[in-house]
């Protein structure tokens, strides 16, 4: 009798910039989410959480056997850490499962003022070898979020030489600077990237100009009008095809980037990666990659996709030059609020304009999908209408297959 191979199922960790995104990510399969508070994080423009929202999020997560982590990963200058001890005590008492930190000063405050609150090392700290992982474990940290510059071979070697939990990014935007430690935004827009104000100056379009006189300038690149003259804009990461090797190499948490992305993005990536991880861990020996998973990710992609540093140093092929070779093709248009089994009518909250005659796709947790034409629409007063043009308006339509509350709807652009 042969023994069935089993691997530890890694956590799928999704971004949650708002309470709505937190609930969406968990509903769509995420085992954990990471959020930001109103201070000490690196996403000052994200919908960061108040303490009351954190409490509601934690309560929701626990009801669904999920975890909530708080990012407090800024690099502190003088006075930046004021009040951090109270912040850590409060989130500990709320029930936050761990705090993600890069600055040793904040770690010390957390250890002293909020004992019992686990600390995870942020990717900003650039952990790239097992000696570093063991150092932070000896300092009392439970998990290390690896630098995005590590290779798959290095992760395998780390796992063989340490038992600290390993978290690795597997999907989302890539920073052009080493582990996100950039000052370009500081110089270009006076916004400190390492204190939460990054203006993504690397994503801007740059050109080279001849300026013989003040006020005069002539482009020396003379690019075609349709070309996009990016200089430092990396493509996004996607490791959907490499889930088996990540699991075999002992990665404990698979992290998805994107706290400022939409619920369309959060629901889709959580849905895809949770499905792929489940499929592999349930039957590793007979695992077969489903092309539908990758196709689904393209529906919310903002840039082209690659594997980052996992299989070698990225080349110019992983930078955005000229026209995009593949662009997103779907728009998020609504979310199901209710479904009447007897009539087959779904009640929908509109998120983008759509109307009769549109071919739309419904998708739900567990990777359910169906497409159909919108034949008729009614408003909340049951008056027949042709379009749903108003943001967040409630509409009804007959669906060809059963749907559930929180199912999403999109259409081709």
Whats the size of the chain, residue-wise?
413
Q: What pLDDT, on the 0 to 100 scale, is given for residue 31?
A: 98
Q: What pLDDT, on the 0 to 100 scale, is given for residue 213?
A: 82
Instruction: Tell me if the domain spanning 330-412 has CATH number 2.40.30.10.
Output: yes
Q: What pLDDT, on the 0 to 100 scale, is given for residue 159?
A: 98
Give the C-alpha separation, 184 to 273, whole Å. Answer: 33
Q: What pLDDT, on the 0 to 100 scale, is given for residue 16?
A: 96
| Residue 179 DSSP one-character state | G
pTM listed for this prediction: 0.91
Contact 362, 407 (CB under 8 A): yes
Q: What pLDDT, on the 0 to 100 scale, is given for residue 219?
A: 77
Helix (H) / strand (E) element for 209: namely strand 209-210
Q: What pLDDT, on the 0 to 100 scale, is given for residue 229?
A: 63
Give the C-alpha separation, 249 to 247, whole Å. Answer: 5
Q: What pLDDT, on the 0 to 100 scale, is given for residue 42?
A: 56
In whole angstroms, what separates CA 354 from the centre of its chain? 27
What's the longest Cα–Cα distance across the chain?
83
Same fold, 11-175+235-318 and 330-412: no
Q: What pLDDT, on the 0 to 100 scale, is given for residue 384?
A: 97
What lies within 8 Å, CB to CB, of 198 at 6+ separation is 42, 182, 185, 191
- Each domain of the chain, given as residue ranges in start order, spans 11-175+235-318, 184-233, 330-412
Tell me which of 3.40.50.970, 3.40.50.740, 3.20.20.70, 3.20.20.190 is the CATH number of domain 11-175+235-318: 3.20.20.70
pLDDT tens by residue, the chain, 413 residues: 556 778 999 999 999 999 999 999 999 999 999 999 877 765 555 458 999 999 999 999 999 999 999 999 888 888 878 899 999 999 999 999 999 999 999 999 999 999 999 999 999 999 999 999 999 999 999 999 999 999 999 999 999 999 999 999 999 988 888 777 778 878 888 887 666 677 778 778 777 778 888 878 887 766 555 555 667 888 999 999 999 999 999 999 999 999 989 999 999 999 999 999 999 999 999 999 999 999 999 999 988 899 999 999 988 888 887 666 666 689 999 999 999 999 999 999 999 999 999 999 999 999 999 999 999 999 999 999 999 999 999 999 999 999 999 999 999 98
Partners of 396 in beta bridges: 347, 378
SS3 content of the chain, % helix, strand, coil (to 5): 30, 25, 45
């Amino acid at each position: 009798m042969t023994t069935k191979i089993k691997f530890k199922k890694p956590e799928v960790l999704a971004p949650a910039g708002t309470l709505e995104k937190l609930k969406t990510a968990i509903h769509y399969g995420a085992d954990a989410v990471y959020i930001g508070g109103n201070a000490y994080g690196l996403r000052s423009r994200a919908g960061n959480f108040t303490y009351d929202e954190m409490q509601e999020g934690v309560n929701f997560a626990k009801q669904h056997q999920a975890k909530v982590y708080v990012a407090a990963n800024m690099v502190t200058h003088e006075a930046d850490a004021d009040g951090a001890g109270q912040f850590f005590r409060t989130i500990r008492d709320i029930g936050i499962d761990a705090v993600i930190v890069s600055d040793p000063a904040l770690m010390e405050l957390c250890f002293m003022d909020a004992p019992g609150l686990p600390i995870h090392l942020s990717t900003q700290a650039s952990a790239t070898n097992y000696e570093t992982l063991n150092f932070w474990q000896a300092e009392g940290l439970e998990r290390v979020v690896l630098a995005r510059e590590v290779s798959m071979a290095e992760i395998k070697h780390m796992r063989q030489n340490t038992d600290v939990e390993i978290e690795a990014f597997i999907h989302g935007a890539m920073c052009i600077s080493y582990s996100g430690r950039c000052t370009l935004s500081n110089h270009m827009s006076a916004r400190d990237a390492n204190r939460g104000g990054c203006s993504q100056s690397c994503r801007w379009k740059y050109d080279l100009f001849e300026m013989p006189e003040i006020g005069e300038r002539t482009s020396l690149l003379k690019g075609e009008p349709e070309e996009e003259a990016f200089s430092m804009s990396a493509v996004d990461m996607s490791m959907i095809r490499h889930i088996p090797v990540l699991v075999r190499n002992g990665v404990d948490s698979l992290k998805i980037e994107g706290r400022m992305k939409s619920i369309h993005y959060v629901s889709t990536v959580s849905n895809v990666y949770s499905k792929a991880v489940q499929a592999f861990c349930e039957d590793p020996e007979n695992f077969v990659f489903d092309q539908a998973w990758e196709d689904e990710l393209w529906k919310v992609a903002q840039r082209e996709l690659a594997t980052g540093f996992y299989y070698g140093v990225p080349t110019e092929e992983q930078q955005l030059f000229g026209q995009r070779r593949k662009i997103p093709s779907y728009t998020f248009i609504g979310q199901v609020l209710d479904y009447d089994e007897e009539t087959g009518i779904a009640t929908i909250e509109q998120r983008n304009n759509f109307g009769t005659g549109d071919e739309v796709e419904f998708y739900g947790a567990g990777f359910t999908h169906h497409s159909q034409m919108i034949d008729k629409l009614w408003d909340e007063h049951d008056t027949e209408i042709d379009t749903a043009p108003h943001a967040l308006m409630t509409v009804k339509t007959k669906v060809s297959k059963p749907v559930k509350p929180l199912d999403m709807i999109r259409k081709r652009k």
